[in-house]
Amino acid sequence: MAKTTVRKFTKLSRLIAGREKFAAVLLVALFLGALAESIGLSLVLPLLNSLMGLGGTGQDQDQLTRATTGLLDLLPEGSRIEGLLVLFAIAFTFKGALMVLNRGLSVLFAYRLRQDWASQLLRHYLHADYAYLDQRPQGALIQNVVHETQIGAKVMTNIVEFVNKLILSLLLFAVLLVVHWQATLAIGLAAGLVLALIRKGLAGYSLRFGKIRLRLSRQISVIATESLHSVRQIKLFGLYGQRHEIFHDRLKRFAEAAAIFQAVSEAPKQTTELTVIILVAAALFWVQKVAGQDVQSIAVLLGFFILIAQRLLSNVTYLVSRRMIIGSTLPSLHLIFELLEDTPNRENIETGLTFDGLKTDLVCNDVAFAYGDGRVVFDGLNMTITKGKTTALVGPSGSGKSTLVDILTGFRRPRSGQVTLNGHDLSEYSLASLREHIGYLTQEAEIFDATVLENIRMGWPEATDEACREAARKAHADEFVAQLPRQYLTEVGDRGNTLSVGQRQRLALARVIVRRPDIYIFDEPTSALDQESERLVRETVKSLEGEATVIMIAHRLSTIEHADAIYRIGERVEQIALADVDDR
């Protein structure tokens, strides 16, 4: 048990790393707020005694009176009631101000942590090896960065509130001990027994629900991401019912689990309230029947004791209920901790020689590649991509054309063999400097939710406005940009949804051109375009021939008819003539 607690605190301390001072300030503020509230409540008894003209004649009243004598002696003899009221008001004003401050600080603290976690996770994923990302559902990655860190922030808010109530409960318990330590211990033992039984009955339930919630949440996120990303296919194949049924089933299971958890988490509150009623009834019975005292003679003391005890037990009830909620969300904190600690293999983009431009042919010598499951893509690949020429790669789907490009761009590493350029193996160069000299245009244009100008400048952040416009003209993008409402300052929307497919591809092509690379790689850039857009993109690609080294992956003859060399990728790699390429 002790080791488990130590591990939990160790994880928590690592999760708040960098925010320790903030946590310390918040803890002090919580303590001061709880102290102000407990002092204010402790003034109720002397205030009632003064109002009713009672002195500290009884032993029980004397205990509390002695605790506040130093304070009361500072008040004028004839204005003690007014003084107590002023002190009471000051204590609760101070408490109220601290509560407002604490609420703001606790939320800020939690969301500063979320800021740290989400930023670090996104940085992990952006710098992770491509193979690591390729093996994981995109929806799960989004769930980790966006949703789980949000839940983690709520967990931290709950923990802060839990600590606040715990401090206040301890201080209120101290007040009750001062008033009547025997009754306080008796009630404390009875309440502790009830809470221990509740905890035993619900042991492990919160954590089990938390794991179910995490699993279903990830499934829901993955299904939603897949469905929206593949909405065209869903419409074409009429998969509306299937996708909706799967999604609806996960939501239903999540709702049922959450409803049961909420019902169970309400049990401690109701049980504790019943315990309060029973204890008060037992106290009255003991005073009258066992101690033989008149209830009216100790009405003020009894009322005060019940007031504080009810407040204390209310806080304890909150602690038990909140502990269940915290327990149900702890899997999110565990997940965040594991993701932050278990850093994925990172791309080492800075280490290595600086690649300052292609000066020789790019040569593949006996290159082999296989995926992690052992599936071989190609073995013994030999090829020469001549500097300043256009080389086309053709072959059936799955033959390894895109995999080869991934190797050339550093996304994947060959199992064996060498890819050499400028007399060095590709792996000897830093990825950052290598990629600076590569312009890569994929089959599906990846457009960001920004302006036209910003999308082009992403290819080269230092590019001037005129350089971006010149790149757009070369890519035949300037023609449609001129028709947009704000031309180059027009927002293109999420994934460029305000543009047509052909316009998005030309905009992506302009982004590649503004980079002024030594090597252009075009991965079937016209396969999804209409005839006019294909013609414009093909003209642009042709205009680049001779300016740089061009690698073209294609399946249409029209896109490779000007190639200087053509290689068919398959079980074996061979250089072929244009006339030998099937137009499929």
What number is the average pLDDT over the span 374-381?
76
| 320 pLDDT above the threshold of 70 | yes
Scanning the structure block, which residue is given the tokens 């009894």?
302
With left for phi above 0 and alpha for psi between -120 and 50, is residue 495 left, alpha or beta? left
Question: Quick one: which H or E segment has residue 221?
Answer: helix 205-229
Asked which of 225-229, 431-435, 476-480 is least confident by mean pLDDT, the reply is: 225-229
Q: What is the pLDDT of residue 39?
A: 78
SS3 353: strand
Rounded mean pLDDT of 267-296? 62
Q: What is the mean pLDDT of residues 121-140?
A: 76
| Separation between Cα atoms, residue 441 and residue 527, nearest integer Å | 12
Does residue 28 sit in helix, strand or coil? helix
The whole-angstrom separation of Cα 457 and Cα 390 is 26
Q: Is the pLDDT of residue 236 over 70?
A: no
Q: Report how far residue 374's alpha carbon sits from residue 397's, in angstroms, rounded to the nearest whole number.
A: 19
Residues 497-523 have a mean pLDDT of 85
Which range is most confident: 237-246, 311-320, 529-538? 311-320
Tell me the C-alpha distance between 116 and 112, whole Å: 6
Q: For residue 507, give the amino acid letter.
A: L
pLDDT cut 90: percent of the chain above it: 0
Going by pLDDT thresholds of 50, 70 and 90, the confidence category of residue 198 is: low
Query: What's the whole-number mean pLDDT along residues 554-569?
Result: 72
pLDDT grade, residue 519 (50/70/90)?
confident
- Examine the pLDDT at 353 and tell me if it is beyond 80: yes
Residue 56 scores a pLDDT above 50: no
Domains of the chain plus CATH, in order, are 15-341 (1.20.1560.10), 362-580 (3.40.50.300)
Question: To the nearest whole number, what is the mean pLDDT of the chain?
Answer: 75
Instruction: Please give the model's pTM, rounded to 2 decimal places.
Output: 0.65
